[in-house]
Amino acid sequence: MRRVVFNQKGGVGKSSIASNLAAISAQRGLKTLLIDLDPQCNSTQYLLGRDFQTGECDVGVFFAQTLSFRHRHKKNLADFITPTQFANLHVIAANPELGEIQSQLEAKHKIFKLRDALVKLSGYDAIYIDTPPAFNFYTLSALIAADSCLIPFDCDEFSRQALYNLIENVEETRQDHNEELEVEGIVVNQFQPRASLPTRIVDELREEGLPILDTYISSSVKMRESHDAGVPLVHLAPKHKLTSEFMALFELLHPGFAVTTPQDSDKATV
């Protein structure tokens, strides 16, 4: 399964959701790859550490080599994979220079290169793709290469208006480039159940028929602590309420796959 996590709006939790679902997938025994296509490199820093040096082993180099026919020894996508400190979890790192080559990639119509490379890549049970907060070359490449799309949604009116346009873009991509692509669901993130506005917005989106997933991800300082430590929640705080929510989301996306919920999750604090 190749799953892209995408929203055109920044700050909605794309990297957090992609990285934590990938970490749970790996922790449950699935060989898992996360591909970071965001020049901000948030997933890369989260899973590989802030001091990680991309050098010649990042996705920017993979795309750059497609721009020239002079490369006699072009590397396959597998050559850009970096193992993390966590078993079964690997990353293809991002680089801030991704933005610098984007216009050249667009001009030379390299939009199918990621898909073609992933078709040849073997050995992984699950692949997650983190995308930039924009509908651009890298996002379109990811959508073309993916089986499904997860859409993080952070429960405010600006996000709601952007959501309609986003779904149209995904549907257009499905019709034009990838008939197998489906919207797997909208992930309600940073949810505050005691606040009336988030609850009302989510209820209205459900009434409109949008595919809101039943598991919500709460707003919690524990996520910031996880970012700061560079350790996904399933390893940092396996019994925390937020971790339990991510595990429930993973189980929802993998029906029939055994996931053990931490026993003391009901006692954890947000």
* Residue 12 pLDDT class (50, 70, 90 cuts): very high
State the Cα–Cα distance between residues 20 and 185, nearest whole angstrom: 17
For residue 265, pLDDT over 50 is answered with no
State the Cα–Cα distance between residues 92 and 54, nearest whole angstrom: 9
CA distances from 64 to 35, 39, 57, 137 (A): 16, 14, 12, 13
Query: What domains, with CATH codes, occur in the chain?
Result: 2-265 (3.40.50.300)
Do 32 and 128 touch, CB atoms closer than 8 A? yes
Amino acid found at 222: K
Nearest CA to 90 among 101, 104, 78?
78
Tokens 């993973």 sit at which residue?
A: 250
**Exposed/middle/buried for residue 24 (C-beta within 10 Å: 0-12, 13-18, 19+):** buried
| Bridge pairing between strands 2-5 and 148-153 | parallel
- pTM: predicted TM-score of the whole model, two decimal places: 0.92
In this prediction, residues 230-257 reach a mean pLDDT of 95
pLDDT of residue 51: 85
Highest mean pLDDT pick, 73-77, 123-127, 256-260, 261-265: 123-127
In this prediction, residues 124-151 reach a mean pLDDT of 97
Do 18 and 171 touch, CB atoms closer than 8 A? no
**Element housing 187 (H / E):** strand 182-188
pLDDT of residue 53: 81
DSSP 256: T
* Residue 264 pLDDT class (50, 70, 90 cuts): very low
* Residue 54 pLDDT class (50, 70, 90 cuts): confident
**Element housing 149 (H / E):** strand 148-153
pLDDT digits (tens, 9 = 90+) for 81-102: 999 999 999 999 999 999 999 9
* Residue 72 pLDDT class (50, 70, 90 cuts): low
* Residue 240 pLDDT class (50, 70, 90 cuts): very high
Residues 6+ apart with CB under 8 A from 156: 197, 198, 201
Could you give the percent of the chain with pLDDT greater than 70? 93
pLDDT of residue 260: 46
For residue 268, pLDDT over 50 is answered with no
Mean pLDDT of the chain: 91
In this prediction, residues 213-237 reach a mean pLDDT of 96
* Residue 158 pLDDT class (50, 70, 90 cuts): confident
